[in-house]
Amino acid sequence: MEPASGAEPADAAGDAAEALDHPLPEGVRRRVVALVSDAFGALTVADLPAQLRQYARFTPTRRAKFAGNAMAAAVETDPVFRSRVAEKLREAQADLAAALEAGAPPAAADPLDVAAAAFVLRPAGWVKLVAAAGEEAQRADAERVGEETRRELERLREELAHVRELQRAGGEQVRVELDASRKEAESLQRKLRSALSDVKRGDAALRKVNAEIDGIRGDAAARVAAAESESRRLKSRLAEVETALETSRRATREGRSIEDMRLRLLLDTVLDAAQGLRRELALPPVSTRPADTVDAVEPGRMTPKDIAARALSETDPALLDQLLALPQAHLVVDGYNVTKTGYPTMPLEKQRLRLLGGLSMLAAQTGAEMTCVFDGAELAAPVLLAPPRGVRVLFSKAGVTADELIRQLVRAEPSGRPVVVVSTDREVADGVAKAGARPVTSALLLKRLSRVS
């Protein structure tokens, strides 16, 4: 009884076990892959092993290229797949398959084709056929390589003989050319030495010229620098002279203007004082008559005793009113001295606002010029303050105290103008008194302002 489909005879199984120890020769393996690839397209996807189904749509060439190892392994390990490939081989190469199964492979057939077909069909003794094909392929390769080696060796020998012939023929010519080249090289070396000597002399001359040029440039640069320095000095001197001239002109104009202002103010003060004194003393008209020289008291006239009786105390607010009633009177107030005397617990900002508000009302009542001075050292930032009507507000500059600013204001006034300074500071009072001003205490101003409010 014949074996079932996919089964192999016992001899074939033994041959397969023996073949496992001997891998396929590379040439036989390539032919086996080609046979499987040809039969591959005639099989359905279901007939293919799982690992080969992804190559079902490939062309035979691409299939052999990308799935060669997988197909060889499937034919080796999957008897069912191998039997299906064998069936397709029997259909495609019936004569070769029949001869192999009969045990008489064709003598004219390619040993590799015979071995590949025997590997797929697995007839009795197929292992020997595969081994013989491998040996035959190796012998053929060895013969081919030996033949190629012999041909290459012959070619190399011919080339060597030709080169030796050329060497013998050209040796003499080479020696002649070498002698000519040596003589030409010696001539060129002599010319080169001469040229190098000329170059050295030229370099020396060039360095000398460059040194002279550098000296001339240095001298010219020094002269230019000296001229520029002199020009800058003259320009600076000219600017100083122009500045001094302009300063002199401006000082002359300002001095003339300040002196004119001081004289005009003093004149107005004298005139107003004369008129006020005339009203205060009830003086007669300027024109005098002999009878006017008689020592007597006329009706309605005050005697010196009456005038003395009108003197006021230093703490009476009416004294400040009398002083401010003088013609062209100027009241200068030491701001913080007054506020810290009258309301020291209030914040500085509210102290300033309260004092300036009272001075504004006092200026409106008396018509006197008023200046309030604050110490700028007390400020942490610039003060945003709109001076009230009738009051000049000043802050001392950095490094200048309010006391010094008050003394500057008093010195700026013309001699003879009534200036009243409000400060409890004894140093300030003494200083302004020496300058011709009338000092009063802060308490006197506070009493007067309380009456205003």
| Token couple for 93 | 């190469």
Please state, in angstroms and rounded to a whole number, the distance separating the CA atoms of residues 64 and 138.
Answer: 23
pLDDT over threshold 50, residue 5: no
Q: Over the stretch 399-419, which tens digit does the pLDDT of each residue have?
A: 888 999 999 999 988 888 899
Residues in CB range of 372: below 8 A, 6 or more apart: 333, 335, 355, 356, 359, 391, 392, 393, 394
Phi-psi region of 416 (alpha: psi -120 to 50; beta: other; left: phi over 0): left
Closest CA to 50 of 87, 29, 32, 77: 77
pLDDT over threshold 90, residue 59: no
Question: Does residue 46 or residue 254 have the better pLDDT?
Answer: 46
195, amino acid identity: A
Question: Using 50, 70 and 90 to split pLDDT, how confident is the model at 283?
Answer: low
Question: What does the mean pLDDT of the chain come to?
Answer: 78
pLDDT over threshold 70, residue 296: no
**Bridge partners, residue 370, by sequence:** 331, 391
Closest CA to 319 of 328, 334, 331, 305: 331
Longest dimension (CA), the chain: 192
Whether the full predicted model's pTM is greater than 0.85, yes or no, is: no
User: What pLDDT score was predicted for residue 12?
Assistant: 45
User: What pLDDT score was predicted for residue 263?
Assistant: 72
Q: Over the stretch 92-146, which tens digit does the pLDDT of each residue have?
A: 777 777 777 777 777 667 777 777 777 777 777 777 777 776 676 667 667 777 7
Most confident region among 147-161, 218-232, 332-346 by mean pLDDT: 332-346
Give percent of the chain with pLDDT exceeding 90: 21
Please state, in angstroms and rounded to a whole number, the distance separating the CA atoms of residues 347 and 345.
Answer: 7
Give percent of the chain with pLDDT exceeding 70: 79
Using DSSP bridges, classify how beta strands 419-422 and 369-374 pair: parallel, antiparallel or unpaired.
Answer: unpaired
What is the mean predicted confidence (pLDDT) over 42-47? 74
Q: Over the stretch 153-174, which tens digit does the pLDDT of each residue have?
A: 888 888 888 888 887 777 778 7
User: What pLDDT score was predicted for residue 213?
Assistant: 92
User: Which domains, ranges and CATH numbers included, belong to the chain?
Assistant: 10-124 (no CATH), 312-452 (3.40.50)
Question: Does residue 260 or residue 86 have the better pLDDT?
Answer: 86
Question: Using 50, 70 and 90 to split pLDDT, how confident is the model at 343?
Answer: very high
Question: Does residue 424 or residue 297 have the better pLDDT?
Answer: 424
User: What pLDDT score was predicted for residue 333?
Assistant: 95
User: What pLDDT score was predicted for residue 216?
Assistant: 92
Q: Over the stretch 374-387, which tens digit does the pLDDT of each residue have?
A: 988 666 566 667 78
User: Among 85-89, 131-135, 432-436, which stretch is predicted with the lowest mean pLDDT?
Assistant: 131-135
Please state, in angstroms and rounded to a whole number, the distance separating the CA atoms of residues 137 and 370.
Answer: 133
Question: Using 50, 70 and 90 to split pLDDT, how confident is the model at 17?
Answer: very low
Q: Over the stretch 224-279, which tens digit does the pLDDT of each residue have?
A: 999 888 888 888 888 888 887 887 777 776 666 677 677 777 777 777 777 666 66
Q: Over the stretch 318-333, which tens digit does the pLDDT of each residue have?
A: 888 899 988 889 999 9
Please state, in angstroms and rounded to a whole number, the distance separating the CA atoms of residues 75 and 28.
Answer: 13
Question: Using 50, 70 and 90 to split pLDDT, how confident is the model at 3?
Answer: very low
Question: Does residue 235 or residue 306 have the better pLDDT?
Answer: 235
Closest CA to 270 of 440, 414, 371: 414
447, amino acid identity: K
What is the mean predicted confidence (pLDDT) over 360-367? 92
